[in-house]
Homo-oligomer: A and B are copies of this chain.
Amino acid sequence: MKKPIATQSVQDYLKHIYELTEHGSSASTGALAQRLNVKPASVTGMLRKLAAEDPPLVEYQKHQGVMLTADGRRAALEVIRHHRLIEAWLVQSLGYSWDEVHEEAERLEHVISEEFERRIDAALGHPTRDPHGEIIPGADLSMPEDESMPLSALRPGRSATVLRVLARDPNLLRHLDSLGLTPGARIEALDYSPFDNNLTIRVGEKMHVLGLNITTKVFVRFDGESHKD
């Protein structure tokens, strides 16, 4: 198993391809360009390069979108492991709040050594989730199945536990924090309005009415679901 030294750009491409394709479908050139803040032509060029690597990191047919190969997926998970470990470390060891860590981690993830990765992993006690509740891939780059469901699927009468939030915007993260919607929070669905998709929930003593903007970004485990560990 060789260790190809990917550049920061390549790492970013692989990471974003992973995030766009983790649930099956392939990623379009345009969608990638938007996420990476580059022009579509740049994406096409990079995809051709990644597909021509030995071994190939992506599977790419022009006009048909892109998917990661097994090798590409491993490389992406290595970057994601760095990112999430760093976020956990910034919060737990340096007192950052969860809305301040993304940008910092975005730069550090590409430059830390394997040794540094092992040190912070050990210092944190081998955490399995980052501050947003996202699963941290294992040192062997294994990625457990994500069992969470969007809050938008919770119906009145059922309760659930927040597992993770899918958000990077600091303003949104602070807002979620003020609502008490952080990993581990226990919530109960009280009412649902089909017309506008608003969900009324209780968190602790407080009640909130949430729109799709939030209910599709907070992921929970329904009460009664089995779970390992």
Contact = CB atoms under 8 A, between A and B. Distances in A.
B194 A145 contact: yes
Interface in A163-206: 192, 194
Interface string A151-162: 001011110000
Contacts of A224: 158, 222-224
A225 B149 contact: no
Nearest to A212: B24
Nearest to A189: B226
Interface in A199-229: 222-226
B145 A226 contact: no
B194 A158 contact: no
B149 A153 contact: yes
A147 B225 CA distance: 18
A23 B156 CA distance: 20
Interface of A: 144-145, 147, 149, 153, 155-158, 192, 194, 222-226
Given A149-B153, A158-B226, A222-B224, 8 more contacts: A145-B192, A147-B155, A153-B153, A156-B226, A157-B225, A158-B224, A158-B225, A222-B222
